Amino acid sequence: MNVNVYPVTLCVVSLYTGVKLPINTNADVEDVVDSARIGVPVSFRAISGCMGAHFGRGSPELVRRGLNPVVGCLGYVEAVKGPYRVKYVPTLMGVIDSAIYLALFNTLLSELDKYGIKLSPETVHALVRFMRFMVFWELLSEYEKVPYILSEKLYYMARDCDRRLSQGGCSDDLCEKVRESCEGAKRGIERLRSELLHAAVITKTIAGVEVEGFDLRQLGNVFMKVYNVAGKYAERFVKIGDSAEVWRKLRGNLQEWFSECCWNEPDAIKLLEWVKALEVVHSFYDVMASTAAIRLTTMLMGNLSKPVTPVAAGSENRQSRLRR
């Protein structure tokens, strides 16, 4: 593993799928995926341009350092022979893991960086693999949409929607309403099917089940679905909550109310001061909770890449190393 692995994979995925890279960078550059040809194998030169634009690592040597493990060991990218030179195509696992990495990069990793905490490539890889389980667990719930698809399909068939939608315009209000309900049912079926398909592809890939017949032009949708799920979980590592928000909203509502009737009343002033004090207190403890979460997350990051040491609890619940 090295620091170029996930940036290279992200560039291949971005250029192949057309998904823009929302990388936090100060560089004022044109988005290299604007001219991407979706579904077309990616050239070494294009990868180098993306690496330079988004990661400041565009030299051929750094690109090769990233490509070698992602093609050889990790299986994130496949090398395909073209008429003139080798080009690159992302695998489903490469799309999934790069989406997880990007979600971590934009939330957790950037937050840890503020505290001067640097994670090794091995630790980042272990974290990505850990987050696969969170994505898998979340998207399993998408399978509950199967009965809803069936019920929508039965409604669609009962209304003879195929025939109604194939006809021209309606001559009365009843026909128009039935036609609108058929169009809504059709859109609902397509949406539910799409969500279930992408969830099934992701969960099967993570579980190690081979996925056949998947339209590679849908890889961008797979990427975004994984990114959104992983980003939601990554935020929980560093931001426990915002309890001060309740008091902040209450203070705003009270100020608006008092401005219309009794802004200068002593009781109103005292109440506003009390609510503001509670907001400050909650803000302080929110920061403390988030700081504690970041410290614990840092310890977790360090332990993810370490081998598991067997431990046992003694008679006084003290942990001791197991000896053979």
Q: What are the DSSP calls for 251-285, one per residue?
A: HHHHHHHHHHHTTT-HHHHHHHHHHHHHHHHHHHH
In the listed set 209, 234, 259, which residue is the last one of a domain according to the structure?
Answer: 234
C-alpha 278, offset from chain centre: 34
CA angle (304, 306, 308) in 5-degree steps: 95
Task: Determine what percent of the chain is predicted with pLDDT higher than 90.
Answer: 17
Instruction: Read off the amino acid at residue 88.
Output: Y
Domain encompassing residue 164: 140-234
- Could you tell me if 41 and 78 lie in one domain? yes
- Could you tell me if 197 and 248 lie in one domain? no
Q: How confident is the model at residue 219 (pLDDT cuts 50, 70, 90)?
A: confident
**How far apart, in whole angstroms, are the C-alpha atoms of residue 217 and residue 95?**
12
Q: Which two tokens stand for residue 106?
A: 């934009």
Is the distance from CB of 162 to CB of 185 less than 8 angstroms?
A: no
Q: How confident is the model at residue 48 (pLDDT cuts 50, 70, 90)?
A: very high
Please give the pLDDT value at position 44: 92
**How far apart, in whole angstroms, are the C-alpha atoms of residue 41 and residue 20?**
17
Reduced to 3 states (helix: H, G, I; strand: E, B; else coil), residue 109 is helix
Does residue 109 belong to any structural domain of this protein?
no
Please give the pLDDT value at position 184: 80
For the chain, how many structural domains are there in total? 3
Is the distance from CB of 99 to CB of 226 less than 8 angstroms?
A: yes
Please give the pLDDT value at position 297: 66
pLDDT at 319 over 60: no
Phi, psi of 96 (to 5 degrees): -65, -50
Does residue 95 belong to any structural domain of this protein?
no
pLDDT at 298 over 70: no
**How far apart, in whole angstroms, are the C-alpha atoms of residue 37 and residue 81?**
18
- Could you tell me if 230 and 248 lie in one domain? no
Is the distance from CB of 98 to CB of 222 less than 8 angstroms?
A: no
Summarize pLDDT for 31-40 with one digit per residue, the tens.
433 445 678 8
In the listed set 211, 234, 257, which residue is the last one of a domain according to the structure?
Answer: 234
Q: Considering Cα of 212, then 218, then 221, then 226, what sign does the dihedral take?
A: positive
**How far apart, in whole angstroms, are the C-alpha atoms of residue 128 and residue 73?**
16
Query: DSSP letter at 43?
Result: P
- Could you tell me if 268 and 307 lie in one domain? yes
- Could you tell me if 230 and 253 lie in one domain? no
- Could you tell me if 221 and 268 lie in one domain? no
Q: How confident is the model at residue 96 (pLDDT cuts 50, 70, 90)?
A: very high
Summarize pLDDT for 240-294 with one digit per residue, the tens.
666 777 778 888 887 777 777 776 777 777 888 888 888 788 777 777 776 776 6
Flag whether the pTM goes above 0.75: no
Does residue 257 belong to any structural domain of this protein?
yes
Residues 6+ apart with CB under 8 A from 193: 149
| Of 14-28, 40-54, 215-229, 306-320, the least confident | 306-320
Instruction: Read off the amino acid at residue 110.
Output: S
Summarize pLDDT for 180-201 with one digit per residue, the tens.
787 787 887 788 888 888 899 9
pLDDT at 157 over 70: yes
- Could you tell me if 58 and 29 lie in one domain? yes
In the listed set 214, 234, 254, which residue is the last one of a domain according to the structure?
Answer: 234
Residue with tokens 């608006």: 256
Does residue 131 belong to any structural domain of this protein?
no
Provide the H-helix boundaries in the chain. Answer: 5-17, 44-55, 60-72, 92-104, 110-114, 121-140, 146-158, 161-166, 173-207, 219-238, 244-261, 266-304
Q: Which two tokens stand for residue 250?
A: 């209450």
Does residue 266 belong to any structural domain of this protein?
yes
Mean pLDDT of the chain: 77
